[in-house]
Amino acid sequence: MERVLIVGNGYAGSRAAEVLGALEGFEVLHVSDEAYPAYCRHLLPGLAAGERAPEDLFLPRGNGCGQGAGARSGIAVSRLFPKARRALLSNGEEISFDHALIATGARVFVPSSLRHIFGRCGNVIAMRQMREALSLRRILERGNRRVAIIGAGRIGVLLAEALKRAGVSISLIDIAPEILPTMLHDGVAARLRTHLEAEGDLSVLAGRSVASAEMEGETVRALHLSDGTDVPCDAVVLATGVVPNTEFLEGEGPDRTDGLPVDARMETSAPGIYAAGDVIRFQTVTGKSAPGQLILNAHLQAEVAARNIAGERATCPPLFIGNVVKIGPVIGAVAGEVDGSGTEDYRVGGSFLRITLEEDGMTGFQFVGLPEDLRGLVPGVLKRFEATWVRQALAVSGGPGFSPWVFAGAGAWA
């Protein structure tokens, strides 16, 4: 019987454990430093705001919940030695394995200017794991209602929106000139920011950084920003981006700073060692290598890795980058490659759309508006609709999204 070590219980690790656990001939040892079973990380803001209970986040069986006989919660892999096929656990135990899947995800990046308060002050919290969301929730339940969120990326914006609904006073701080700087162009993000600031006690303090913190013992009472603004606070949340969890891997290998490189079989440079999810860099539909994930991407990567561990010759197709942020009834969305120079703006139904066209094909889009107006746009990226055809379709479409006839259009993709 072959032993498979799976490190991490996020979407990828739990899905792989589920797939391999259903097969004969494998002993699956599933190790995670989290004490909770697999859960939906994108729901953490709702948990912190008191809108959801912890059990509301747990994945259902058949969808990667994966608490099998070999599951060990609350135990981290301190060191993994790929060539020797052994691992040292945080409880001192040493284990050997035949194959391994690295699905350790990513952690919040802590800027050097904030490291003196993170880990030292009890009211300074990252927002990546369930225990952190519950920690913020306990602070709020004690009547402390002023929260400073550092980082206006996707997690920071989603948390700000959830806390706003809960009646919390929020200061959303980012050094970038606009919210969602790694997701949307500034002009597109500004359209979504209008909806974020429309209701509740929420201030977006963009284009500013934290210069210093006012302390009372081991509690931060205020942040002093680079422009002289003072932000009183009862809690500080770091939503300052993420870095992949690769530091426990021993041995030489390719640069791991932006994630583990893998081939189409999800195998790393070390034979028999696979990786999936937020810890990797993957190939996109346009041929680029990119970090970051969709849940569907992580599931697919995990299944491909599990099948190859089981002896198949499966390959993962190129995937696309995408993300969605919901603010009230409005969403901001991005899919594909949007950093090209060929961008054009359109009205789609009652929504705003910016498409990116490169080499006569649609490579990506940015969107702010109603979900129903998003119809047909993702297939436009996946099939790389022809630029001329896209312009014609958007010009004649009087309704939301691409009309249904788009999918039957001859020559619609390059």
Say if 267 falls within a structural domain. yes
Q: Name which of 1-5, 65-69, 96-100 the model is least confident about.
A: 65-69
The domain boundary residue, chosen from 238, 273, 296: 238
Say if 85 falls within a structural domain. yes
Say if 137 falls within a structural domain. yes
What mean pLDDT is predicted for residues 33-61?
92
Q: Quick one: 274 and 233 in the same domain? A: no
The single-letter code of the amino acid at 39 is Y
Q: Quick one: 142 and 171 in the same domain? A: yes
Q: Quick one: 291 and 335 in the same domain? A: no
The domain boundary residue, chosen from 309, 340, 365: 309
Element (H, E) at 154: helix 154-165
Q: Quick one: 197 and 253 in the same domain? A: no
Say if 156 falls within a structural domain. yes
Say if 375 falls within a structural domain. yes
Total of domains in the chain: 3
Q: What is the CATH number of the domain that holds 340?
A: 3.30.390.30
pLDDT band at residue 395, thresholds of 50, 70 and 90? confident
DSSP string, 275-331: E-GGGEEEEBTTS-EE----HHHHHHHHHHHHHHHTT----PPPB--EEEEEETTEE
Say if 320 falls within a structural domain. no
Q: What is the CATH number of the domain that holds 124?
A: 3.50.50.60
pTM of the model: 0.90
Say if 215 falls within a structural domain. yes
Backbone phi, psi, residue 21, to 5°: -65, -20
- Which pLDDT score, from 0 to 100, does residue 397 have? 55
The 8-class DSSP code of residue 360 comes to T
Flag whether pLDDT at 406 surpasses 50. Answer: no
Q: Quick one: 11 and 102 in the same domain? A: yes
Return d(Cα 68, Cα 57) in angstroms, integer: 18
Sign of the torsion formed by the C-alpha atoms of 154, 288, 344 and 385? negative
Backbone phi, psi, residue 244, to 5°: -70, 145
Say if 143 falls within a structural domain. yes
Return d(Cα 71, Cα 68) in angstroms, integer: 5
Q: Name which of 11-25, 155-169, 195-209, 398-412 the model is least confident about.
A: 398-412
**Domain of residue 336, residue span:** 329-408
Q: Quick one: 22 and 128 in the same domain? A: no
- Which pLDDT score, from 0 to 100, does residue 62 have? 55
Q: Quick one: 10 and 119 in the same domain? A: no
Return d(Cα 376, Cα 393) in angstroms, integer: 11
Q: Quick one: 117 and 233 in the same domain? A: yes
Rg over alpha carbons for the chain, rounded to the nearest Å, is 22
